[in-house]
């Protein structure tokens, strides 16, 4: 890796409100010609001309020596390189990105590092960014300063370092990736017509069958909600849902109801070792938050449920008799369940690198990486948990960065759809989904929700606890409920279209698994993107940031 993340954070500390900010809004501005660095009662000023000269000559300004003398040679190069870096983002793209849900949150964070007598820090950032992007050389630190709506740009240095120091590294890597591919985010007018709206419910009335299953071999009691209708038939796959860590089987209830209304049988189960009930017991000190065996038990739970559903499928006079195609199944997993889904699809758990990585400093890890480190206690270095009855897999915001090692994901043997949210702090898209997606064999689809957070895809009934939650670098700021209605609508459409690829209706639904439909379904708050391969130039950026 040519540039260390630590060096990037050093630069971010000095220009905390500038370097990592990528959103703006259209407003007028007065040019700034001086940057003031404030440290308590002391200030140091540097002119824009001095910074411009530093970018040209590669020499640090003398007036900043007291702040830069502690930097290593590499950090100095990064600092000077950042001054001369132009960001490939035009005004139109910038304006669209500011309308995503994450835009204001990011601006608010960085505005705290600006020392202003008024409360216009966010507006000033927006103005400087949007006007800076109109400069002949494009948006850069220097063009931002020149466009900043004040004669002085004053930075509170301690606060800037706090903002930079508290960054969720993987989350910000994702933001840098989004910045690098920003020109590719410009929407295009679809050239095709769409025959119907797959986000609309089907005509069948949905029924729910509550089951309480008991796997005696593993002493696991597994509750299952089966969503079905009289329109269900064995020509359509049975779909099994795997919920996220510390959650419940109604994680994706809206999606289960949608698919069932179109004639699918959907079984939403609860994993007893990593559900909400287990988490509550852990908080009371009565059990571990997650036992390492849970990484193995979760896929086995799915296989067990398919076994039990097959028994019901053959039970005379049972409501599900003859309706459940258990040998032609699709798995849908969310978050921790996304990793479960990929394991069932053939991804191999490869723990050698994980065991080495998790012995090192864990403070820079995301919540998802920290969770995966629990698997280091498993005795073997590899596990294959594929169930050949699983013929397709959907992984929503999955965990993949450590648990599958270098080549585990290459062993997936079924068509796979991965969804990622650009504003996901829990399972950051770049490290948890985008890097892994490149390893998955085709056919595959990567869906990007620009502005989507970790909980955006969840059923509103399971996100009520987010009201009033603090927004921190590693959690909070979730876009849920009514605010995320556009996300859930799109998830319903693509999940139905993907499931239909296992039916005689495949051709009728294939058009909805295209970039054209993603563009068509996009909204101002949530631009949707769908690709089947990461472009080489974007992949180069990925590899730079993750050190591959």
93 and 225 in a single domain? The answer is no
pLDDT for residue 114: 77
pLDDT for residue 10: 29
Residues paired with residue 152 on neighbouring β-strands, in sequence order: 34
What value, to the nearest 5°, has the Cα angle with vertex 427 and ends 365 and 17?
Answer: 70
- Of residues 533 and 20, more confidently modeled: 533
The winner for highest mean pLDDT among 116-130, 270-284, 311-325 is: 311-325
234 and 124 in a single domain? The answer is no
The winner for highest mean pLDDT among 82-91, 187-196, 284-293 is: 284-293
Q: Is 373 a member of any domain?
A: yes
Q: How confident is the model at residue 93 (pLDDT cuts 50, 70, 90)?
A: low
pLDDT for residue 19: 28
Per the structure, the count of domains in the chain is 2
- Of residues 31 and 322, more confidently modeled: 322
d(CA 433, CA 419): 8
The share of the chain scoring above pLDDT 90, in percent, equals 49
162 and 232 in a single domain? The answer is no
pLDDT in tens, 230-274: 999 999 999 999 999 999 999 999 999 999 999 999 999 999 999
Q: Is 54 a member of any domain?
A: yes
pLDDT for residue 226: 98
pLDDT for residue 134: 80
Q: Is 276 a member of any domain?
A: yes
- For the chain, what is the mean pLDDT? 82
- Of 166, 188, 217, the one marking the end of a domain is 166
Q: Is 72 a member of any domain?
A: yes
Q: Is the pLDDT of residue 225 over 90?
A: yes
User: How many other C-beta atoms can be found within 10 angstroms of the C-beta atom of residue 362?
Assistant: 11
65 and 127 in a single domain? The answer is yes
- Of residues 88 and 56, more confidently modeled: 56
Tokens of 362: 């864990």
Q: 3-state DSSP call for residue 329? A: strand
238 and 345 in a single domain? The answer is yes
Q: Is the pLDDT of residue 409 over 60?
A: yes
pLDDT for residue 11: 28
CATH code for position 449: 3.40.50.1820
372 and 454 in a single domain? The answer is yes
CB 502 within 8 A of CB 495: no
User: How many other C-beta atoms can be found within 10 angstroms of the C-beta atom of residue 189?
Assistant: 7
Q: Is the pLDDT of residue 546 over 60?
A: yes
Name the H helices within 431-514: 435-439, 485-499, 506-510
155 and 266 in a single domain? The answer is no
pLDDT for residue 66: 65
- Of 166, 194, 218, the one marking the end of a domain is 166
CB 383 within 8 A of CB 348: yes
411 and 350 in a single domain? The answer is yes
Q: Is the pLDDT of residue 498 over 90?
A: yes
- Of 166, 198, 221, the one marking the end of a domain is 166
Enter the DSSP assignment of 525: S
252 and 380 in a single domain? The answer is yes
Q: Which of 480, 337, 401, 344 is nearest to 173 (CA)?
A: 401
**Domain housing 518:** 207-546
Sole residue written with tokens 């505005």: 111
pLDDT for residue 74: 60
214 and 159 in a single domain? The answer is no
The share of the chain scoring above pLDDT 70, in percent, equals 74
d(CA 499, CA 255): 12
Q: Which of 7-21, 60-74, 188-202, 520-534 has the lowest mean pLDDT?
A: 7-21
pLDDT in tens, 129-185: 788 778 877 777 788 888 888 877 777 766 766 665 545 556 666 665 655 554 455
d(CA 261, CA 269): 19
Q: Is 193 a member of any domain?
A: no
Q: Which of 105-114, 210-219, 267-276, 492-501 has the lowest mean pLDDT?
A: 105-114
Q: Is 469 a member of any domain?
A: yes
Q: Is the pLDDT of residue 349 over 60?
A: yes
Q: Is 201 a member of any domain?
A: no
291 and 241 in a single domain? The answer is yes
393 and 475 in a single domain? The answer is yes
pLDDT for residue 480: 94
Q: Is 196 a member of any domain?
A: no
């Amino acid at each position: 890796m040519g540039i260390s993340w630590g060096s990037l954070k050093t630069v971010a500390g000095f220009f905390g409100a500038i370097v990592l900010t990528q959103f703006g809004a259209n407003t007028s501005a007065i040019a700034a010609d001086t940057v003031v660095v404030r440290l308590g009662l002391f200030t140091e000023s540097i002119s824009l001309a001095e910074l411009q000269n530093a970018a040209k000559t590669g020499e640090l300004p003398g007036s900043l020596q007291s702040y830069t003398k502690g930097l290593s040679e590499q950090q100095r190069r990064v600092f000077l390189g950042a001054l001369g870096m132009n960001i490939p983002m035009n005004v139109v793209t910038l304006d669209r990105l500011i309308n995503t849900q994450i835009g204001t949150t990011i601006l608010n964070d960085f505005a705290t590092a600006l020392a202003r007598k008024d409360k216009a820090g966010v507006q000033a950032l927006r103005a400087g960014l949007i006007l800076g992007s109109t400069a002949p050389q494009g948006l850069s630190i220097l063009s931002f300063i020149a466009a900043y709506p004040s004669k002085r740009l004053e930075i509170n240095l301690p606060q800037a370092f706090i903002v930079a120091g508290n960054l969720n590294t993987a989350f910000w890597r994702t933001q840098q990736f989004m910045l690098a591919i920003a020109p590719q985010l410009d929407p295009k007018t679809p050239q095709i017509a769409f025959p119907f709206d797959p986000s609309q419910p089907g005509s069948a009335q949905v029924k729910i069958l509550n089951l309480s299953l008991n796997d005696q071999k593993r002493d696991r009691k597994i509750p299952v909600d089966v969503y079905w209708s009289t329109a269900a038939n064995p020509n359509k796959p049975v779909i099994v849902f795997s919920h996220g860590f510390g959650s419940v089987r109604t994680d994706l209830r809206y999606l289960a109801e949608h698919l069932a209304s179109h004639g699918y049988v959907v079984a939403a189960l609860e994993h007893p070792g990593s559900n909400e009930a287990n988490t509550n017991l852990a908080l009371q000190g009565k059990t571990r938050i997650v036992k390492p065996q849970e990484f193995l038990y979760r896929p086995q739970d799915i296989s067990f449920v398919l076994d039990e559903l097959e028994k019901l499928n053959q039970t005379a006079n049972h409501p599900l008799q003859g309706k459940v195609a258990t040998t032609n199944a699709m798995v849908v997993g969310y978050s921790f369940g996304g990793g479960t889904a990929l394991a069932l699809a053939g991804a191999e758990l490869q723990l050698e690198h994980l065991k080495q990585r998790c012995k090192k400093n864990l403070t820079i890890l995301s919540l998802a990486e920290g969770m995966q480190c629990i698997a280091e206690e498993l005795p073997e270095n590899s596990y294959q948990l594929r169930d050949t009855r699983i013929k397709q897999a959907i992984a929503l915001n999955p965990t993949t960065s450590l648990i599958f090692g270098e080549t585990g994901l290459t062993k997936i043997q079924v068509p796979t759809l991965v969804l990622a949210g650009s504003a996901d702090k829990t399972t950051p898209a770049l490290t948890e989904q985008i890097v892994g997606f490149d390893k998955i064999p085709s056919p595959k689809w990567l869906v990007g929700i620009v502005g989507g957070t970790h909980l955006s895809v969840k059923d509103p009934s399971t996100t009520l606890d987010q009201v009033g939650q603090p927004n921190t670098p590693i959690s909070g700021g979730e876009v849920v409920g009514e605010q995320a209605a556009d996300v859930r609508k799109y998830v319903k459409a693509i999940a139905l279209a993907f499931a239909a690829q296992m039916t005689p209706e495949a051709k009728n639904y294939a058009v909805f698994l295209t970039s054209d439909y993603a563009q068509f379904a996009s909204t101002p708050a949530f631009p949707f993107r769908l690709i089947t391969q990461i472009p080489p130039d974007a992949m180069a950026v990925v590899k730079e940031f993750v050190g591959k």
